[in-house]
Amino acid sequence: MSYQLNLEAFQGPFDLLLYLIDKNEIDIYDIPIAQITQEYLQCVERMQVLDLDVASEFLVMAATLLSIKAKMLLPKPTPEEEECEELDPRTELVHDLLEYRRYKQIALVLNEFSEQHSLTYARPNEEQLYAQFFAQDNPLDGKVLIDLTKALQSVLNALESKENIHYIKKEEVSLDQMMKDLFCRIKANPKGIDFMELFLKSSSRMEAIVRFLALLEIIRLSAAKVQQPDTYGHIYVFPGNLKAYEKTL
């Protein structure tokens, strides 16, 4: 009985051999090499008749089957020669077929797993996605104390050029009063106020330093936060959690 053969159904010569073995319900450990060789050659011949591009590995396997068939047609060795006789010429072919079948089964399982996995979508579960919901607000917003210290130094340098000290007197500068003054100015500027503007009223270095300490305390209480939009640019002070400071009043 003739049958049609589609080359696309076979990935290579081992795939075709396994198809013939399964079709004829043959024991892979005891392959009737003559029968399999004949059917294999018929399949290859059909490929050529149908003008299909027969890959070289199919032809190499055909030559291998013919070689095994020829070896099995040789006279059996005498008992004295059996000890020196090589193994069954089909042994290597059987081993390769079993290996191919094993990898083919693994490929089918992986392909099925891939298809099932493609139908699912996993929700991202990285820690960074949720950290923002649990992390406390940083009142300095990425700024370090050195940035504020440099800004204070600019204020002090400006004041030094204006100060003409003729006599020494004890300055009474209240930290609490300075904090209240700064808090009112920050609260009145919800869109932010330039760091330098907070020190325009400073009449001396001592007052500027106390004002700076007062600002740090307000920031520590989360009542204000600072930002620097551009590198080496102006520093701006924004209202933060105003209620955190009002509770201390």
Task: Kindly list the structural domains of the chain, giving each domain's residue range(s) and its CATH number in brackets, ordered by start.
Answer: 7-75+86-112 (no CATH), 137-163+172-246 (1.10.10.580)
Over residues 85-110, the mean pLDDT reads 83
* Pairwise CA distance, residues 239 & 186, whole Å: 6
Distance separating alpha carbons of residues 131 and 154, to the nearest angstrom = 36
- Residues 29-82: pLDDT tens digits? 888 888 888 888 888 888 776 655 666 777 788 888 888 888 888 777 665 555
Q: What is the pLDDT of residue 82?
A: 54
What is the CA 204 to chain-centroid distance, rounded? 56
**Percent of all residues in the chain with a pLDDT value above 90, rounded to a whole number:** 0
Alpha carbon distance 198, 186 (integer Å):
9
164: left (phi over 0), alpha (psi -120 to 50) or beta: beta
Whether 16 contacts 58, CB under 8 Å: yes
Summarize pLDDT for 99-145 with one digit per residue, the tens: 888 888 888 888 888 888 777 766 666 666 556 555 555 555 555 56
Q: Is the pLDDT of residue 192 over 80?
A: yes
What's the token pair of residue 208?
């500027």
| 1 band by pLDDT with thresholds 50, 70 and 90 | very low
What stretches of the chain adopt beta strand conformation (E)?
Answer: 193-194, 224-227, 236-239
Question: What pLDDT score does 207 carry?
Answer: 84
User: What letter represents residue 172's amino acid?
Assistant: E
